[in-house]
Amino acid sequence: MPFQLHFGESDLLRCRFALSPLFETQEAVRTLSRPYRHGYHLPWLRRIREAAVTLDLEPLWLLMPDSGHNPDFICPPPIGPLATFEEEIAAVRAVDPEVARADMALALGDRLGGPESATGRLLADPARAVHELADLLERAWQTLIEPYWPRLRALLEADIAYHSRRLADSGLEQLLGEVSPRLSWNGSTLTVTGTRGDHQRVLGGHGLVLMPSVFVWPEVVGGHEEPWQPGLIYPARGIGGLWSESGDRTPGTLARLLGRVRADVLCALDEPAGTSALAHRLGLAPSSVSAHLSVLRGAGLLASRRYGHQVLYERTPLGIALAASD
């Protein structure tokens, strides 16, 4: 069923990219209960399996129906392009309980039970529900996402850097058409097919937040009712290689030419990444990775550019050719 976003002239001036550690946490929780999402994330699922069983995620799963509304207050639009989890969870804790109650009731729909049921208890004391859900999201973040956040953030930032360049090259209309085949334009209306429910949203000058996500694949999610800014969440580029280790894809001849570690650094850059993300991915000291990056850049195999708080490195055509050789 389609989800339609109706743009006005001022909305085109208020479109922005952002990434959200809170949204990735929510979608990781959802992925655990959606087997069709598991294919790209089997290594991650194996790593978090034992820790995940210590989490009682049922209260969150109750608010995540397969179709229909999902509450916005547990994952409001990020306040900036580089919002931290701590900033985002603080915004959840500050939500008006009555806003949260209406949001939960819309998500629960005809699954509302009596006052002693799990759904009934959520609505009976929305202030307590907000507090308990925020605590549960924080534990889910610490267990499921935080240990892997440098790797996830690097992929999300690389996606934003790529699509920001595409926006400059081709404009918003063509960019959104490239983000997913589920997106199409008709005049000033953007239609998202295959979403949960049939829904219309007039942006009304609020613009649109564009967020790549690691865990949302294969879906494109349109969300956020009033009073929040509308959002469009789409699968990030490069998730197919997200959990593979660099050594698994480093050609032996390249390792002999450059040295194993330096070749691993080059081959780890399937998507642009920063020093800390590469160090985390490769299990190396950031100072060692930084030295190898400098040598590779000096040899013309890498280029670099600043994005936000860090420098991102990516392979040049020569670097791409070497990484693909065997």
The answer to whether residue 241 scores a pLDDT higher than 80 is: no
Q: What is the pLDDT of residues 142-198, one digit of tens each?
A: 999 999 988 888 788 878 888 887 887 878 778 877 788 888 888 888 888 766 556
Of 242, 282, 267, 265, the residue nearest 322 (C-alpha): 267
Question: Which pLDDT does position 88 carry in this prediction?
Answer: 93
Q: What number is the average pLDDT over the span 289-306?
A: 90
DSSP string covering 177-202: HHH-TTEEEETTEEEE-S-SS-EEEE
Q: What number is the average pLDDT over the span 201-217?
A: 85
Sheet holding 15-17, edge to edge: 15-17, 208-213, 231-235, 221-223
Average pLDDT, rounded, for the chain: 84
- Model confidence at 136, pLDDT cuts 50, 70, 90, reads very high
- Cβ atoms of residues 315 and 301 within 8 Å: yes
Q: Which residues contact 153 (CB under 8 A, 6 or more apart)?
A: 19, 21, 277
The answer to whether residue 315 scores a pLDDT higher than 80 is: yes
Tell me which amino acid residue 275 is: T
Q: What is the pLDDT of residues 77-109, one digit of tens each?
A: 887 777 899 999 999 999 999 999 988 888 887
What is the location of CATH 1.10.10.10 in the chain? 244-324
The answer to whether residue 70 scores a pLDDT higher than 90 is: no
| Domain over 244-324 is classified CATH 1.10.10.10 | yes
Question: Which pLDDT does position 78 carry in this prediction?
Answer: 81
Question: Which pLDDT does position 246 carry in this prediction?
Answer: 55
